[in-house]
């Protein structure tokens, strides 16, 4: 086995400079080792990542690699002295970010070349499809998925087998299988990573689903903002067709299925399955009334099944390893593993896949390394704009659909945004409401107008213009919107407001009654001053102030005029003595 060098080139790696690292290695290698790419392995905070596989198979994972490190890597290979990589190799505590995970949906991510079908088939790729087409009936497949307990990973965890069975039993020869890759939650990038890093796994899972429901056409609805994912999936579809895994008479079994990609324009509401279908048909993405459900009347009013990327990414593994093996992981109500995109105020951000039944503490502190900068954990937002904020005293909440639902949050697609004590919870609620207000399709009054009114009230509160009764008004509006909205966007939009009021009501009261922001994050509620005991009169703060609010004489105490100050924070960043006080 010759030495191999593999450069991570998911979106996160490329954004961190992996392209330049690859070019530098290519220039210096001169055939000393093979050079290839892989997708995102999930350790996003350490990108760019370069994996060096020695001739004996030993892996040396180099992190935060720069183009100038290429010479060191090439020298280590040429001299067969991998101790030269010691300063680049991942530290043990960072390596545990991966070693503490259980990877099924992400099992190939960051390990195989997403541009080469042979890399996928070398690790049992398309074996599940062959098994299904040659030895199982569609009913057998659905039963295996039923035994696995796989719930849809797009949000609600609805049983996958049930949706497949409903579509299969619907009358009609023309049926469609659709993958929802319209990943719109702020901070979520699980589906993108799977498509960029392991596109054939998605294709195989979709083909098995198409066989199960009787569909001859499969469609991947993916965000246009994911250009790399679209390029790699397009290439994978072409390769699968050339190898006989996709198209007419697949593997000589008589089963035929074609696949195409639809690039969505980025409307968040198109994550709702009926709005997605409207968009696929060329109409504006707006939800339909249900029933009928897509399984009865979906794309072009034909029986259709929709699952998200992560759901399909589990299918081949389940077929190869058996439904009971998947069901053995997780909890009684939530089987298998779940992928989370962990972002925010944590030491280690990236993709985490763990068995259901682990706790929030396990993910945030054990795997993600706790809170950055020695700050205190305050809350975690789960489920994106549709989810809710879970406070510190619920850190030991078990990760499954029922337990998270009891907190007022939802699992969602897997976004996990971690916050510390410097985060204003009223501001967080305002951020998510502004998002859902912009993304509302406008079809129903409750969502179109209701989210706007919620956003306006929150805006008043963070500006110090909150009034007595605002909290109660927010709660009343939230209940009305949830009860009356047409689709999941409106029905879940109030969750961030309701959970922040439920767990951080004192912050709302401080904003309204005391005109103070406990987290010291809302500019309108802050007062900047200079501590005369610490000020040395260096004038740096005055020079940085963009509005001339800071005056004084050199080597004497400076002062801030609160009527002129715009609370931009430049004085804090420029002061080397910590003399600027924010209250």
The domain that holds 11 is classified in CATH as: 3.40.30.10
Q: Please report, in angstroms and rounded to a whole number, the separation of the first and last CA atoms in the chain.
A: 64
Residues 489-521: pLDDT tens digits? 999 999 999 999 999 999 999 999 999 999 999
558 and 491 within one domain: no
Per-residue pLDDT of the chain (583 residues; tens, 9 = 90+): 689 999 999 999 999 999 999 999 999 998 889 999 999 999 999 999 999 999 999 999 999 999 999 999 999 999 999 999 999 999 999 999 999 999 999 999 999 999 999 999 999 999 999 999 999 999 999 999 999 999 999 877 899 999 999 999 999 999 999 999 998 887 789 999 999 999 999 999 999 999 999 999 999 999 999 999 999 999 999 999 999 999 999 999 999 999 999 999 888 899 899 999 999 999 999 999 999 999 999 999 999 999 999 999 999 999 999 999 999 999 998 999 999 999 999 999 999 999 999 999 999 999 999 999 999 999 999 988 888 999 999 999 999 999 999 999 988 888 899 999 999 999 999 999 999 999 999 999 999 999 999 999 999 999 999 999 999 999 999 999 999 999 989 999 999 999 999 999 999 999 999 999 999 999 999 999 999 999 999 999 999 999 999 999 999 999 999 999 999 989 999 999 999 999 8
Number of domains in the chain: 5
Distance, CA of 278 to CA of 48 (rounded, Å): 39
- Picking from 175, 147, 171, the residue whose alpha carbon sits closest to that of residue 161 is 147
- The residue with tokens 């050339």 is 242
Q: Name the nearest CA neighbour of 529 among 482, 565, 484.
A: 565
b/e burial code for range 347-383 (CB count within 10 A of at least 16 → b): bbbbbbbbbbbbbbbbbbbebbbbbeeeeebbbbbbb
Task: Based on the fold, state whether residues 61 and 151 are members of the same structural domain.
Answer: no
Q: Would you say residue 521 lies in a domain?
A: no
Please indicate, yes or no, if residue 96 is contained in any of the structural domains: no
Is 103 inside any structural domain? Answer: no
> What's the burial of 543, exposed, middle or buried (CB within 10 Å: 0-12/13-18/19+)?
exposed
What are the tens digits of pLDDT across the range 8-21? 999 999 999 999 99
In sequence order, the β-bridge partners of residue 70 are none
Same domain for 264 and 154, yes or no, is: yes
Query: 312 and 357 in one domain?
Result: no
Do the domain assignments include residue 105? no
The CA-atom distances, in angstroms, between 73 and each of 6, 47, 66, 83, 464 are 12, 16, 11, 10, 56
Q: Which residues contact 278 (CB under 8 A, 6 or more apart)?
A: 284, 285, 286, 287, 288
Range of the domain at 407: 337-420
- Bridge pairing between strands 217-223 and 580-582: unpaired
Q: Is the peptide bond before 48 cis (omega within 30 degrees of 0)?
A: yes
Instruction: Give the model's pLDDT for residue 184.
Output: 82
Same-domain check for residues 508 and 567? no
* Any domain includes 109: no
Please state the pTM of the whole predicted model.
0.93
Dihedral sign computed on CA atoms, order 241, 246, 251, 254:
negative
Same domain, yes or no, for 343 and 318? no
**Are 27 and 41 in a shared domain?**
yes
Kindly state whether residues 384 and 309 are assigned to the same domain.
Answer: no
Write the DSSP string, 458-492: HHHHHTT---TTHHHHHHHHHHHHHHH-SSHHHHH
If 0-12 CB within 10 Å is exposed, 13-18 middle and 19+ buried, where does residue 109 land? buried
What pLDDT digit, counting tens, does each position of 180-199 carry?
999 888 778 999 999 999 99
Whether residues 349 and 370 share a domain: the answer is yes
3-state secondary structure of 206: helix
On whether residue 381 sits in a domain, the answer given is yes
Residues 6 or more apart whose CB falls under 8 angstroms from that of 91 comprise none
Residues in the chain: 583
* Two structure tokens written together for 297: 């009347």
100 part of a folded domain: no
In a domain, 102, yes or no: no
Q: Which of 127, 113, 120 is nearest to 315 (CA)?
A: 127
Tabulate helix, strand, coil % of the chain (nearest 5). 45, 15, 40
Contact 244, 250 (CB under 8 A): yes
Same domain assignment for residues 386 and 447: no
* Domain end position, chosen among 75, 91, 107: 91
Q: What is the token pair recorded at 141?
A: 């497949």
- In this structure, the answer to whether residues 134 and 276 fall within a common structural domain is yes
Alpha-carbon Rg for the chain, nearest whole angstrom, is 26
Domain boundary among 309, 327, 345: 327
Q: Which of 290, 306, 327 is the last residue of a domain?
A: 327
Identify the residue whose tokens are 């300063």: 87
CATH of the domain at 459: 1.20.1440.230
Backbone φ and ψ for 418, nearest 5 degrees, come out as -95, 135
Q: Residue 578 sits in a domain of what CATH number? A: 3.30.70.20
Does 352 share its domain with 314? no
- What's the gap between Cα 290 and its chain centre? 28
Q: What is the CATH number of the domain that holds 182?
A: 3.40.50.11540
């Amino acid at each position: 086995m010759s030495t191999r060098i593999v450069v991570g080139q998911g979106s996160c790696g490329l954004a961190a400079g992996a392209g330049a690292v690859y070019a530098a290695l290519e220039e210096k290698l001169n055939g000393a080792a093979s050079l290839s790419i892989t997708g995102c392995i999930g350790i996003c905070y350490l990108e760019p990542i370069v994996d060096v596989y020695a001739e004996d198979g030993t892996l040396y994972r180099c992190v935060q690699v720069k183009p100038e490190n290429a010479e060191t890597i090439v020298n280590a290979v040429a001299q067969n002295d991998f101790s030269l990589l010691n300063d680049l190799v991942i530290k043990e505590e960072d390596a545990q970010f991966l070693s503490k995970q259980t990877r099924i949906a992400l099992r190939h991510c960051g390990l195989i070349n997403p541009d080469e079908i042979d890399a996928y088939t070398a690790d049992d790729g398309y074996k599940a499809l062959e098994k299904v087409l040659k030895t199982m009936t569609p009913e057998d497949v659905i039963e295996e998925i039923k035994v696995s307990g796989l719930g849809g990973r797009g949000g609600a965890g609805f049983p996958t087998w049930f949706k497949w069975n409903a579509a299969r039993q619907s009358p009609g020869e023309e049926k469609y299988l659709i993958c929802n890759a319209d990943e719109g939650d702020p901070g979520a990038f699980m589906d993108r990573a799977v498509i960029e890093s392991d596109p054939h796994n998605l294709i195989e899972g979709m083909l098995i689903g198409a066989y199960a429901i009787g569909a001859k056409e499969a469609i991947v609805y993916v965000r246009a903002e994911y250009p790399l994912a679209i390029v790699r999936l397009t290439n994978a579809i072409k390769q699968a067709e050339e190898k006989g895994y996709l198209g007419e008479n697949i593997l000589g079994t008589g089963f035929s299925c074609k696949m195409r990609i639809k690039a969505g324009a980025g409307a968040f509401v198109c994550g709702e399955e009926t709005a997605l279908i409207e968009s696929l048909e060329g109409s504006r993405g707006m939800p339909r009334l249900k029933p009928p459900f897509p399984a009865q009347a979906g794309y072009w009013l034909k029986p259709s099944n929709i699952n998200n990327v992560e759901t399909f990414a589990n299918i081949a593994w389940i077929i190869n390893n058996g439904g009971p093996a998947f069901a053995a992981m997780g909890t009684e109500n939530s089987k298998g593993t779940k992928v989370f995109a962990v972002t925010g105020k944590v030491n280690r951000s990236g993709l985490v896949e763990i068995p259901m039944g682990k706790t929030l503490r396990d993910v945030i502190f054990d795997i993600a390394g706790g809170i950055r900068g020695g700050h205190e954990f305050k809350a975690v937002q789960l489920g994106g704009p549709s989810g809710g904020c879970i406070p510190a005293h619920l850190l030991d909440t078990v990760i499954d659909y029922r337990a998270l639902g009891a907190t007022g949050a939802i699992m969602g697609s897997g976004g996990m945004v971690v916050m510390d004590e410097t985060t204003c919870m009223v501001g967080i609620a305002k951020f998510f409401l502004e998002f859902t207000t912009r993304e509302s399709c406008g079809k129903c009054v409750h969502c179109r107008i209701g989210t706007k009114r919620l956003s306006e009230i929150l805006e008043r509160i963070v500006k110090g213009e909150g009034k007595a009764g605002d909290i109660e008004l927010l709660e009343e509006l939230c209940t009305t919107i949830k009860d009356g909205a047409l689709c999941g966007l409106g029905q879940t939009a109030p969750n961030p407001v309701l959970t922040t009021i439920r767990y951080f009501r004192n912050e709302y009261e401080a904003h309204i009654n005391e005109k103070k922001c406990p987290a010291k994050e809302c500019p309108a509620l802050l007062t900047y001053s200079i501590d005369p005991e610490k000020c040395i009169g260096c004038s740096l703060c005055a020079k940085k102030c963009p509005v001339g609010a800071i005056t004084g004489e050199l080597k004497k105490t400076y002062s801030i005029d609160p009527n002129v100050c715009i609370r931009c924070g430049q004085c804090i960043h420029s002061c080397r003595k910590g003399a600027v006080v924010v209250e």
